[in-house]
A = this chain, B = another copy of it.
Amino acid sequence: MDRLTLHEDPRSGNCYKIRLTAALLGLPLERRQYDILRGDTRTKEFLQNVNADGRIPVLQIDDRFLPESNAACWYLAEGSTLVPTDRFERADMLRWMFFEQYNHEPNVATLRFWLLFVGEANLSSFQRDQIMVKRAGGEAALGMMNDHLSKRNWFVGERASLADIALYPYTHVCEAGGFRLRDYPAVCAWLNRVSGLKGYVPMN
């Protein structure tokens, strides 16, 4: 594997996904930290050299740059035990990773960001108007995860895969966004299975 550098804000669950994947696989990962609240990813240097989109995480592989957390996890894990060998299961793993970015992150992660880092008093009225819809969307996503996990230990197949890695970070800190983990017992049991994996590293 080439030299790997993670451009990250350590408070971001999307960044943590990549760090967790690398840790579980025993891959060395250099870390370059930015403060997104201070605008570190909007500087001319960042936009020109790292990501024109101004977003993190970005996984740097030698001199090539890969945005999108789940794509970076895929790059690191392809061919490893974190990606199922069965064709259907591999696609089903991606299914949960797309679910994470479409149904879970925009609700569960955004409410954590707003309430924990921006602060409720500092939200715009536009943001405040969205809280209830994002609450309902996040609860639906957590409920769907709980239903799925009530019949199985891992999202896909018989062992941990990138589907679990992608869904773990924002789920395990969802209470900071006002969600109640105790409402999802199968999710709680699964969180413990993930944090018990060999090589696991915590978020902070």
Contacts and interface: CB of A to CB of B under 8 A. Distances in A.
A94 to B, nearest CB: 4
Contacts of A64: 88
A94 B106 contact: no
Given A74-B90, A97-B98, A101-B102, 16 more contacts: A52-B147, A64-B88, A66-B88, A66-B91, A66-B95, A68-B98, A68-B99, A68-B102, A71-B92, A71-B94, A71-B97, A71-B98, A75-B87, A78-B90, A126-B129, A126-B133
A109 to B, nearest CB: 11
Q: Is the interface of A mostly helix, strand, loop or mixed?
A: helix
A53 B96 CA distance: 12
Contacts of A94: 68, 70-71, 74, 94
A99 B101 CA distance: 9
Interface string A60-72: 0100101111111
B52 A68 contact: no
Interface residues of A, number: 33
A75 B91 contact: yes
Contact of A95 (B67, B87, B126): B67
A68 B75 CA distance: 20
A182 B133 CA distance: 34
16 contacts: A53-B144, A66-B88, A66-B91, A67-B95, A68-B94, A71-B91, A71-B92, A71-B95, A71-B98, A74-B90, A75-B88, A78-B91, A97-B98, A101-B101, A101-B102, A102-B105
